[in-house]
Structures are given as structure tokens and as C-alpha cells.
Amino acid sequence: MRLAVCSQTPLIRVLSEGLSQRDYVDVGQLEIDRDYVFSPGGVTRMVYPLLLHMKSQNMAEDVYWVSLNPKAPPKMVYNGIKLIAVKVDESSLKSYGAVKEHMWRLFHGTADQSIPPLIELAWRDEYAYFNLYNRVCAETLFQLDKEEDLDLFYIHDFQQLPTGYMLQSLKPKIFRWHIPFDEKAIPPDWEPFLTKFLNAYDAIIVSCRTYLNTLVKRGYKGRAYHIYPYIDFSEYKRPGRAEVESFCEKFRINDDDFVVLLVARLDPLKGHDTAVKALAHLVKRYPGLKFVFVGNGSFSSSSKGLGLDKAGAWRAKVSEIAEVLGVSDKVVFTGHLPQNMLDAAYERCDVFILPSRAEGFGLVVAEAWLHEKPVIVSSAAGISEIVEHMKTGFIVDPNNVEEVAGAVEYLLVNEDARREMGVLGRRAVEVLSIERGLKEESEVLNTVAEGFQ
């Protein structure tokens, strides 16, 4: 099979300015962290292992990764995967980014009055540039197919939805919807607009069963699958004592602190403010409480990506809330952490929390389970579908600060419950193993590529 993946997120982010002048680059010849970094995020962490797996199992002979990468050379190769850069001029990219952010909030059901409904958004001049980005992707894929005679297109994430519709090819197309596809956020009057794009795909994969139901309800007629996102357990090592101590020293965490950890990019949706407010509820009675926030911006929301520095603004806002509530000395922002430090953070924490207002899935909960930690998960997160309330974790309403604080307090005072929940969570996480995910996903890809009978 010759497969082309298309995603806004590049597999590799090029750091070295001079590289964009070259026509072709073998990433193997470059130095990580100086010339390039591996893109963080759900799409790359899931799709990259899938592609490697398919190559190693001889299920895919050639694999291409087409993505937005303004600073990269047109063609690169990384570990046998051919990377094709999509280039869009800066002013178009700005409009594209603005529309994408609006859409993201609309699909997460968190848009305020300043954001128009989806259909109205599609009448704005900025939308023409959102459309332009998708057209450039579709044209790039079309050209690639002409040169390489591909067998399958695998397109990722909501902002790429029009790409499949625009791609003038009858070859099979699969779409992976990574964010929530929730009935409450997607009203029926969006249906004609959405289904036109959705029905351009032979198959659509969503992350949860509930999203699958909405997809069918909103008029999708093709094959629909739900596959839970997955992670490679072997990437998560239990850190040694020295690494944990080094983490604590760096972020001034004392031995007797009760650490509540939140790993998420800095974004209003992730509910850092809810966590701070819950902390304020508890801190007088439990002065040893400390909330640790790990994460920075995404490719879109950081100043190094699309230049929409949402992360910086949100950090300032959360800090301000903490200041007003008098808990700023109890809140630690670590920024982005390398894997060993992240493992140390998980190891050191007593409770993991994900109070997102909306969350496509929430693989960080799986990471906490791998470290046998009790979790408090928002009911708006896709992963709550597999959390057993009071057994493998707590499911809380992210808009109810008292409920969140109550869950933290329960775990704070019940050491046995924490331990038991951690053990049960470690068992529950098996359903999110990369082996299971790769098997299910490659089965779907094969079925679609071979054609439904």
C-alpha cells in the first residue's frame, strides 16, 4: 500500500532557518533540538507509530506525510517516511489560523458571543483563506498521487475536513476526527454544510462511541468507526529516585507537599482556572497542597507555531486568578517538559487532574494510569467513557468547582483509595495500548484500501 497522511501538524518542526533553502533533506543527517524537533501532540504521537508499524509489517511500502511546514524544505525523509511541506503565505495563514481557532471552539462547545456560528463563519473573508489552506493541501495530495500513484489518503483533524472534498481523486479516503464530535456542540442546522464534506470520505474514525453516534445522527453515510487513541507504554519509564528529586528541586516541591498534577497545553479549554479555584477552596484546610501545571502551547497556539500566542495569554490569566485568590505560591507552571522530567512529574504527583471543558479524548489520563495514579477526569473528556467512577477515577463536572475540590479532598484524605484507584487504573489503561490501537487502525485502513464488498 502507498499511503499519504495529511495533517496540519508536521511530524518534524524545522528550527534551522537555512534548511528551507534546500530542496530535499534527510532528517537523519540533522541534529535534534538544534535543527529540528519532533512535533508534540496527539496526531503525531498516534500516527507516527502507526506508520512505522505498517511499514515494519509490510502493510505499507511507501508512506508520505503532507503537512503545513512553512520553514521546512519542500521534501524531507525521516525514518523512511517522506515528508512533504505545504506552504502558505503568512497573511493567508493568519486568517486560516483565526478561522481554525473559532471552529475549534465551536466544535468544543465553548464559543462565546464573539464567535459566529459555523455557517456564518463560512461567509467571512477569512474563511476564504481557511479554504485556501485546504485547497493547497488537496492540490499537493493530487500532485503527489500523480507522481507516486497512491492507494489511500488518510486525512487528520477537523481543520483538514474540506481537503478530502477538494481532492479530485476517486482513490479511497479516510478521515480521522480527533476532537469532540458532540451532539450538544453541533446543532442540526450545520448538517448540510458538514455532511457535504464528511460524505466525501469513504470512512471516518472518531475517538469515542458517543462521537460515532453523533456522526451518524448528523447525516454521515459512509463507514464510521470508533477507535480509542493509543500510546506506546514502553515510552513511559518509571523514573529513578534521583530524577524525581531533581524535578522536585527544580520546581521547589517539598517532600510533604500533596501534589495535584495537570498535564495539558495552556488553553482556556483545559480548565486550569477551575483547578486553581478548587485549590483555593482547599488550601486553608490543607496548606501542603500544590498544583503543578505541565505544558505549553500547541503548534497553532504557541508563538513558535502559527504565531497565535494563546498559551502566553492564558498563563497570564491563570496566574492572575491564582494571585487574586491568594494561592499563587501553590501553583507551579513548568512549561513543556522533556519525557524524563514528565515521567518524574507523574511519579511525584499524588493525584492527576484533567478538568477540561471539552476534550477530544485526553490521553494524559492514560499516562497517569501508567504511573498508577488516581485520576479526576472531566465528564466532557472523551476518555471519561472508559473511566469507572469511584473505581478507576473520579468523573467530575468541569463547571462545578465544588465537585472538583470535593474529589481532590476525598483522595487527599484517603490514602488507601488513592492506592487502589491507581492499581485499577493501571489495569484499565490496557485498552489504550498501542498494540490494540495499531491493530484496529491498520485493519480499518486495509479494509478501506481494498474496498468494501
Partner 1 sequence: MIVLELMNVTEIVLRLAAVAAILLITYVVAKLFSAILGRAMRGAPPLIVDQAVKTVSLFVWAVGLLLAVNQLGLNLDVLLVLLAVAGVGLIVAARDLLSNILTKVFMGTFIPVKVGDYISVNGFSGKVVEINHVATVILMEDDSIAAIPNSRFVKEVSVNKTSVAPQRISIPVSIPAKVSPPKAEAELLKLAYRYKSRLDQRFPPIFTIKNRGPNSVEGELDLLVADPELREALTAELSAKVKELLVRLEREVASK
Contact status: 131 vs partner 1 (CB under 8 A): yes
CB atoms within 10 A of CB 313: 15
Candidates 147-155, 189-197, 350-358, 382-390; binding stretch for partner 1 (CB under 8 A): 189-197
Give helix 363-370 / helix 339-348 axis angle, nearest 10°: 70
> For residue 174, how far is the Cα from the chain centroid?
19
Rank residues 142 and 410 by Cβ distance to partner 1 and give the closer one.
Answer: 142
Candidates 70-78, 192-200, 394-402, 426-434; binding stretch for partner 1 (CB under 8 A): 192-200
Tell me the closest approach of the beta carbon of residue 134 to partner 1, in angstroms. 9
Tell me the closest approach of the beta carbon of residue 46 to partner 1, in angstroms. 29
Tell me the closest approach of the beta carbon of residue 37 to partner 1, in angstroms. 28
Rank residues 123 and 241 by Cβ distance to partner 1 and give the closer one.
Answer: 123
| CB-CB contact of 391 with 265 (8 Å) | no
Sites for partner 1 among residues 193-232 (CB under 8 A): 193, 196
Question: Could you tell me which residues are beta bridge partners of residue 173?
Answer: 153
Tell me the closest approach of the beta carbon of residue 325 to partner 1, in angstroms. 44
Which residue of 192, 240, 288, 335 would you call a contact of partner 1, by CB under 8 A? 192
Tell me the closest approach of the beta carbon of residue 87 to partner 1, in angstroms. 11
Count residues near partner 1 (CB under 8 A).
21
Alpha carbon distances (Å) from 111 to 116, 316, 356, 358, 377: 8, 20, 14, 11, 22
Rank residues 198 and 261 by Cβ distance to partner 1 and give the closer one.
Answer: 198
Looking up cell 502566553 gives 312
What is the side-by-side strand order in the sheet with 331-335? 331-335, 289-294, 258-263, 351-354, 375-378, 394-396
Tell me the closest approach of the beta carbon of residue 351 to partner 1, in angstroms. 46
Could you give the CA distance from residue 21 to residue 18 in angstroms, rounded to a whole number?
A: 6
Tell me the closest approach of the beta carbon of residue 156 to partner 1, in angstroms. 20
Could you give the CA distance from residue 261 to residue 89 in angstroms, rounded to a whole number?
A: 39
Question: Could you tell me which residues are beta bridge partners of residue 2?
Answer: 62
Tell me the closest approach of the beta carbon of residue 306 to partner 1, in angstroms. 18
Alpha carbon distances (Å) from 105 to 95, 96, 205: 16, 14, 21
Reference 356, options 103, 180, 101; nearest CA is 180
| CB-CB contact of 277 with 325 (8 Å) | yes
Contact status: 158 vs partner 1 (CB under 8 A): no
What is 20-83 written as a DSSP string? GGSSEEEGGGS-BTTTEEEPPSHHHHHHHHHHHHHHHTTS-SEEEEEEE-TTS-SEEEETTEEE
Rank residues 129 and 225 by Cβ distance to partner 1 and give the closer one.
Answer: 129
Looking up cell 490569566 gives 317
Looking up cell 500566542 gives 309
Reference 346, options 429, 422, 399, 405; nearest CA is 422
Rank residues 75 and 124 by Cβ distance to partner 1 and give the closer one.
Answer: 124
Candidates 132-140, 176-184, 202-210, 260-268; binding stretch for partner 1 (CB under 8 A): 132-140
Cell numbers for 195, please give them: 455532511
At position 62, the amino acid (one-letter code) is: D
Tell me the closest approach of the beta carbon of residue 123 to partner 1, in angstroms. 5
Candidates 77-85, 191-199, 294-302, 424-432; binding stretch for partner 1 (CB under 8 A): 191-199
Rank residues 222 and 312 by Cβ distance to partner 1 and give the closer one.
Answer: 222
Tell me the closest approach of the beta carbon of residue 299 to partner 1, in angstroms. 21
Candidates 20-28, 135-143, 208-216, 411-419; binding stretch for partner 1 (CB under 8 A): 135-143
What is the H or E stretch that residue 140 is in? helix 125-148
Sites for partner 1 among residues 164-183 (CB under 8 A): 166, 168
Tell me the closest approach of the beta carbon of residue 151 to partner 1, in angstroms. 22
Which residue of 2, 55, 135, 426 would you call a contact of partner 1, by CB under 8 A? 135
Candidates 103-111, 188-196, 214-222, 429-437; binding stretch for partner 1 (CB under 8 A): 188-196
- The three-state secondary structure class of 332 is strand
Could you give the CA distance from residue 453 to residue 450 in angstroms, rounded to a whole number?
A: 9
Which residue of 61, 148, 189, 235 would you call a contact of partner 1, by CB under 8 A? 189
Tell me the closest approach of the beta carbon of residue 92 to partner 1, in angstroms. 7
Contact status: 139 vs partner 1 (CB under 8 A): yes
CB atoms within 10 A of CB 106: 20
Candidates 26-34, 133-141, 331-339, 373-381; binding stretch for partner 1 (CB under 8 A): 133-141
Could you give the CA distance from residue 211 to residue 49 in angstroms, rounded to a whole number?
A: 24
Sites for partner 1 among residues 70-129 (CB under 8 A): 92, 119-120, 122-125, 127-129
Residues that bind partner 1 (CB under 8 A): 92, 119-120, 122-125, 127-129, 131-132, 135-136, 139, 166, 168, 189, 192-193, 196
